[in-house]
Structure 1
Amino acid sequence: MPTTIDFEQLVNAIGDAVVISDAHGAITLWNPAAERMFGFTQAEALGQSLDLIIPERLRGRHWDGYNKTMATGETRYGHDLLKVPAVDKSGRSMSIAFTVALLHSPQGDVTGIVAVIRDETSRFSEDRALRKRVAELEAKVGV
């Protein structure tokens, strides 16, 4: 017999940030992992624009794509892992990796987007340092 899944418990227990925004980009779900990752409490985030975590320089591009997705009901990212900059409550720059999925009404209209997000800041910094070191070593040996 299949087990009934308590989806609220699942979203609250998962280690990755789960953020849902409506068709206009207002945050409608912000789990405890999102609180830990970005520093905003659920009360601070709910109802706010996704601009809360989008660096100012990237907002235009983000909203162009977001609005196109809402209008067409299609995202070009599908199951791709997206890697982009973000900011936390203190204004600290972060590197995040996430997947997105569209949410639909019973009538099939797109009602929002869910993103499952992981903080990749440390790994991104380590990768950048390693690439720099490899370039320095290659320069020394004339590669």
Structure 2
Amino acid sequence: MQTAIDFQQLANAIGDAIIISNSGGSITFWNPAAERMFGFTQSEALGKSLDLIIPERLRGRHWDGYHKTMATGETRYGNDVLRVPAVHKDGRSMSIAFTVALLRSQQNEFTGIVAVIRDKTARFQQDRVLRKRLAELEASQGA
């Protein structure tokens, strides 16, 4: 039994952020979870550069990889979860985990990238606290 899936309904219901950007890196899709996660409304995000959520210090490296991916059609992150810092609208740092997939036109040309993103900030902070505590315990054992 085949069921037609309404992409818009799925994207609006899902808890993960879905962001689609065109070949130049402008945002063309921003679902409600992306609004909740990053603080920007859909109208604030659509048509803007992905720089909206990329920390300034990482933008050069991001764009080098993005343009290379669009030119070659190859990404090493297609099946791997990428964990990177991001920025919320209010300026606070975030930790996100995401996967990406290349989008193609009917002529098989690369037209953009879709990212499915999860906020991992709380988990990252918990892990940092645990690592610090472990280092303190190990240091006290060695003293």
| SS of residue paired to 2:68 | helix
Displacement after TM superposition at 1:107 (Å): 1.2
- Give CA deviations for 1:72-111 in whole Å, capped at 9, x if unaligned: 1111212100000000111110000000000011111110
Q: Which amino acid aligns with 1:126?
A: Q
Aligned to 1:83: 83
Q: Which amino acid aligns with 2:98?
A: F
Alignment of 1:110-121 (within 5 A): 110-121=110-121
| SS of residue paired to 2:84 | strand
Gaps of 5+ in 2: none
Aligned to 2:42: 42
Runs of 4+ with deviation above 3 angstroms: none
Give the TM-score normalised by structure 2.
0.98
Aligned to 2:53: 53
| SS of residue paired to 1:115 | strand
Give the TM-score normalised by structure 1.
0.98
Aligned to 2:3: 3
Aligned to 2:135: 135
Displacement after TM superposition at 1:68 (Å): 0.4
- Give CA deviations for 1:100-131 in whole Å, capped at 9, x if unaligned: 00001111111000000000000000000000
Aligned residues: 143
Aligned to 2:18: 18
Displacement after TM superposition at 1:3 (Å): 1.5
Q: Distance in 2 between matches of 1:76 and 1:82?
A: 10
Q: Distance in 1 between matches of 2:75 and 2:135?
A: 36
Q: Distance in 2 between matches of 1:45 and 1:111?
A: 18
| SS of residue paired to 2:54 | coil
Asked if 1:66 is matched to 2:54, the reply is no
| SS of residue paired to 1:126 | helix
